[in-house]
Chains A and B, each alone.
Chain A
């Protein structure tokens, strides 16, 4: 079985971000970028499944500018066998990414597609679900535990939902998106980083995959949240009700 893992290059989680002065987006120039933490967890799970003998190959795929190769190299250093870089300078929204991944899945025929549950830059939490729908595959999102049954060709997944934990059994091939508690990703060791240099990364374009990238959504403006105003001390309950009614208009 082959496992396809989608990894996204995002602003590092510890970096302080700011909005570009022209309000078109977040300033990513001269900013440290890393692999999305949930994608790292997804890759780690795929590697563990391969090491347990359930899969033959783990393929990492990233969609974005030329620097995505760095992210793929990190993935290869962690243990992925090969990488696919769909090169584009546009910043795609989840539906387009899902269409690209669908096209890749039809090409590569994986038994499992792993994604992080969401990216820490847009917090969309949509791509995994959309890929499953486009492919007509079952999905198990927010996975906190994944157990494969090779004979029955199913995966039993514990999902972290608002009410607690839900256990699903999905037929393979399936799409699984990973949550924080699934595993702790391994560090890429220096010898592995060196070995990763010789692992192949295939470059593709959206034209190669015959995907229509026209987006239905246009981002009009990105602004910082309004500055938090300081609170006001009130002297009595009456004054509080008065303020809530007449100033804040919430009662």
Chain B
């Protein structure tokens, strides 16, 4: 979809040209980088001399211009046109998403820019109100990519403080925990809060001159006449539920990049559109992506029970043998532990409720004895990729590339995706730099990815997850073989089963699951947990969760599948209430949304489309 900015400045001539004409205005002198709303900034940001200030691009069209009531605002001597049309701001590189991949790309670009003494303007837009606000992950961090990106991190004060000290692996039954040899080896890794690490990375990126704008959601991709991606449009703010403009209406802006990198995380809304549009999976015969939903709490526990660096993973209870998933319990610092349950979204029983399964986990004796006497500090949920090697799409498209979990580089047997996301960001940055200054092709990103340790690692790990299609025991057997003997050196690659949304059986073929009531001490109801995620959206805006066909929930989801969205959503966004005639009607409480994307993935008819709400909304994670 094209966006035209009609230029109405009185200071220059009206062109009547037959094609869009671009006017590039000269480079501005540098200005101090800005930290907007309440984003990261511990020390005053240092700034290189020539930061590469954004260009202001004005496009104008041959078709009759709008009325000439334009306001021209002077910005350091330049005029911007802002009529009913949208403003347009241009950068060398635009990055969508301030997560590990996006920020690593920004840092790498600025490093190259300094090394080669070539200016580069880099902009990162982030839908969360703060950098790190939408970041949630286990997380036992493998620092391999960070060692490459910022090798001096070990001499600095960082949020990476607690080395992993043990690797426990338990098979849980209802009452017991059976210790098994651990398939993980976390020596050299650290138990961290990824939200805190990303905030630190954000500070580093800003120090180097990156412009980061939290609180702005990218709602559309911008294309030029040759269908090449030229940037994104941020979402209009101040639109009422009925679609009308409120008194504080603020139109979005077009942010253009000569290269655009999408780093939206797992199931990124714009990344999914790009993958579909350019058929990026078909391009390399990749399989569909498969996903899991992770639900997590950070607890503050009794000092006597706290063992910083302890890493525990479990299998078995509360999940049944046909459902892939497991829990994690990591001891961070400050008496905090990260506890979570990950449930693969290709589960069959539509009555399964991952949130309630997580509540069932906590009273287990082995878990309860750690949590007893503690309090929950934060709660959150997010989907993650499990497709691994087989599902990686071709990540390059005309105008840019996809990095991080939006493409899907998570190493499933290690359950780590941060290090590969960061590396993908760094490789894309190097390729983008080459595109802008050496005239090479962005395909170099793909080539370099395939030559890197990311590829080697994901290739070796490729058969673990698909083996579980055959069941828990075959899966464990294959995992053991892979881990101890084969290490991926087999001539075949197992395929994934059905796509997650297709794997759900009809409700009438399955048994409903009875979940116990929450006790308010270890287990909680959804509203209580949701309150701990600090999630909020302006309520008077159109729902960001779109139904492609508004009749399907009542026609298909409710009768055929027993309303699975009311069960898998960890934020109680979807509820069926009785209308005036006593019939069930879907009510969407969009304000609760945690931005996990489970609905976009698991809806049986793929009828729910997750789109971005107004920027700044969503959870406010700080310890996750």
Task: Name A9's closest neighbour in chain B (CB-CB).
Answer: B38
Name the A residues within 8 Å of B234 (CB-CB).
190
At the interface with chain A, which of B103-111, B243-251, B468-476?
A: B243-251
Q: In the complex, A194→B31 CA distance in Å?
A: 10
From B31, B80, B89, B238, A198 is in contact (CB under 8 Å) with: B31
* Residue from B41, B196, B211, B247 in contact with A70 in the complex, judged by beta carbons closer than 8 Å: B41
Interface string of B41-69 (1 = CB under 8 A from A): 10000000000001000000000000000
Chain B residue contacts of A157, Cβ below 8 A: none
Contacts of B75 on A, CB cut-off 8 Å?
191, 194-195
Interface presence of B500 (CB below 8 A): no
- Total A residues in contact with B, Cβ cutoff 8 Å: 33
B620 x A12 contact (CB < 8 A): yes
Contact assessment for B34 and A30 in the assembled complex, using a CB-CB cutoff below 8 Å: no
Contacting A196 at CB < 8 Å: which of B34, B211, B251? B34
The residue that A14 contacts in the complex, of B54, B73, B247, B620, with Cβ under 8 A, is B620
Q: Are B37 and A74 in contact (CB under 8 A)?
A: yes
CB distance from A154 to the nearest CB of B (A): 26
Q: Is the Cβ of A187 less than 8 Å from the Cβ of B534?
A: no
Q: Residue-by-residue, is A178-192 near B (CB-CB < 8 Å gives 1, otherwise 0)?
A: 000001111111110
Q: Is the CB of A31 within 8 A of B248?
A: no
The yes or no answer to A24 lying at the interface (CB within 8 A) is: no
Q: How far is the CA of A15 from the CA of B379 in the complex (A)?
A: 12
Is the Cβ of A190 less than 8 Å from the Cβ of B89?
Answer: yes
Q: Are A15 and B534 in contact, CB atoms less than 8 angstroms apart?
A: yes
| Complex Cα–Cα for A30 and B40 (A) | 11
| Contact A74:B36 (CB < 8 A) given known A16-B531, A190-B213, A191-B253 | yes
Partner of A193, one of B213, B246, B536, B623: B213
Residue of B nearest to A189 (CB): B250
Is B133 interfacial (CB 8 A cutoff)?
Answer: yes
Q: Are B34 and A194 in contact (CB under 8 A)?
A: yes
- CB within 8 Å for A193 and B534 given contacts A32-B130, A187-B250: no
Chain B interface mostly helix, strand, loop or mixed? loop
Expressed in whole angstroms, the Cα–Cα distance for A32 and B255 within the complex equals 27
- A188 and B532 alpha carbons, distance in the complex (Å): 27
CB < 8 Å: which of A190, A193, A197 contacts B31? A197
Chain A residues 108-140 with CB under 8 Å of chain B are none
Interface size class of B (residues with CB under 8 A): 35 or more
Assess whether A18 is interfacial by the CB under 8 Å rule: yes
Chain A residues closer than 8 Å to B251, beta-carbon distance: 189
* Structural contact, A14 and B534, CB atoms closer than 8 A: yes
Rounded to whole Å, the gap between the CB of B373 and the closest CB of chain A is 12
Contacts of A73 in B (CB 8 A): 34-36
> What per-residue 1/0 map shows which CB atoms of A143-179 lie under 8 Å from chain B?
0000000000000000000000000000000000000
Q: Check A191–B89 contact: CB distance below 8 A.
A: yes
**In the complex, A33 has a CB within 8 A of chain B:** yes
Binding site for B on A (CB under 8 A): 9, 12, 14-16, 18, 30-34, 67, 69-71, 73-74, 77, 183-191, 193-198
Residues of chain B whose beta carbon lies under 8 Å from any beta carbon of chain A:
31-39, 41, 54, 73, 75-76, 80, 82, 87, 89, 129-130, 133, 196, 211, 213, 216, 234, 237-238, 246-248, 250-251, 253, 255, 375, 377, 531-532, 534-536, 620, 622-623
A-B contact pairs, 19 of them (CB 8 A): A9-B38, A12-B534, A16-B532, A18-B375, A30-B622, A67-B38, A67-B41, A70-B37, A185-B248, A186-B250, A187-B248, A189-B250, A189-B251, A190-B87, A190-B253, A191-B87, A191-B89, A197-B33, A198-B76
Nearest 3 Cβ contacts at the A-B interface: A14-B536, A30-B622, A197-B34
A14-B536, A70-B37, A190-B89 given; name 6 further pairs at CB < 8 Å.
Answer: A14-B534, A18-B375, A32-B620, A70-B41, A190-B255, A197-B34
